[in-house]
Amino acid sequence: MISRKLMYPLPALTLTEKECTYIMAPAIRTALPNAGISSCISSIVRHAPTQSLGLEVPNLYTTMGTARTSLLVEHCWQKTPTGRLLQIVIENHVLDVGLFGYIWDNTRFASFLQWCSHHSWLYSVCSFNNEHEISLSIGHAQLHPKRINDRALMEMASEFLQSTSELRAFNRVRMLHNVVSLADITSANGKKIDRIFTSSSEFEGSRNNFECIQASCQQW
């Protein structure tokens, strides 16, 4: 069992697996010998279900990950005030990722984790779900192509830029200009780059109705 004191705050936390192991270590070291089991028993056996001849000791990291996903699903479906805040967080994440379609597609996680912000609760949820092959279907506002043959800038940039730092730099400028796809930065006839986007200053026009907020709002 994980004590209630540890359980209650879990959905709000973004602990790493290592941190969870560290937190549970004193309890494991004491509880297992008292139950007549070696405290050095493999963690695989320790956390495995009893049907598989394991000890079924709850894993704090897995409990935290599933609690977060459960909370996200429950509040978004019920449209509670927390759910509406979570929807805003999801939309912020969508803009940060900069790709068309749903962000729950685990096949794209490996690419967008290179450039999106890691300091967010939602990133931790996506990361855990990707790691454990959990697929969500929570509806959210999506980015769409604006013209035929249009492609997301981040999708294209990931083909040409190899390093994470370059992708993040590109994403920072993209977010500064508040643009998403090729259609936003291409001339009206759809053939050439709009030269205004090659200057080193913020684009003052508007290509969408996305509002800009400070990064700190996203990092909760």
Measured between alpha carbons, how far is 173 from 98 in angstroms, rounded to an integer?
Answer: 12
Q: Using the rule CB under 8 A, which residue among 117, 127, 136, 138 binds another protein? A: 117
Q: Does 23 bind another protein (CB under 8 A)?
A: no
Q: Does 44 bind another protein (CB under 8 A)?
A: no
Secondary structure element (H or E) that encloses residue 25, with its range:
helix 17-34
Q: Does 64 bind another protein (CB under 8 A)?
A: no
CB nearer to another protein: give 18 or 195: 195
Measured between alpha carbons, how far is 111 from 132 in angstroms, rounded to an integer?
Answer: 17
Q: Using the rule CB under 8 A, which residue among 44, 50, 160, 162 binds another protein? A: 160
Measured between alpha carbons, how far is 87 from 76 in angstroms, rounded to an integer?
Answer: 7
User: Closest distance between another protein and the C-beta of residue 60, in Å?
Assistant: 19
Measured between alpha carbons, how far is 108 from 99 in angstroms, rounded to an integer?
Answer: 9
Counting other chains too, the contacts that 211-219 makes at CB distance below 8 Å and 24 or more residues apart are: 212/178, 213/92, 215/117, 217/92, 218/89, 218/92, 218/93, 218/96, 218/117, 218/120, 219/117, 219/119, 219/120
Selected range binding another protein among 22-30, 57-65, 72-80, 126-134, rule: CB under 8 A: 72-80
Site for another protein in 190-209 (CB under 8 A): 190-195, 197-198, 200, 205-209
Q: In 3D, which of 140, 136, 1 has the Cα closest to residue 69?
A: 136
CB nearer to another protein: give 17 or 74: 74
Measured between alpha carbons, how far is 177 from 185 in angstroms, rounded to an integer?
Answer: 9
Q: Does 155 bind another protein (CB under 8 A)?
A: no
Contact pattern for another protein over residues 119 through 148, marking x by CB under 8 A:
----------------------x--xxxxx
Question: Contact residues for another protein (CB under 8 A)?
Answer: 70, 73-74, 77-78, 80, 88, 91-92, 94-96, 117, 141, 144-150, 153, 156-157, 160-161, 166, 169-170, 172-176, 178, 182-183, 185-195, 197-198, 200, 205-215, 217-218
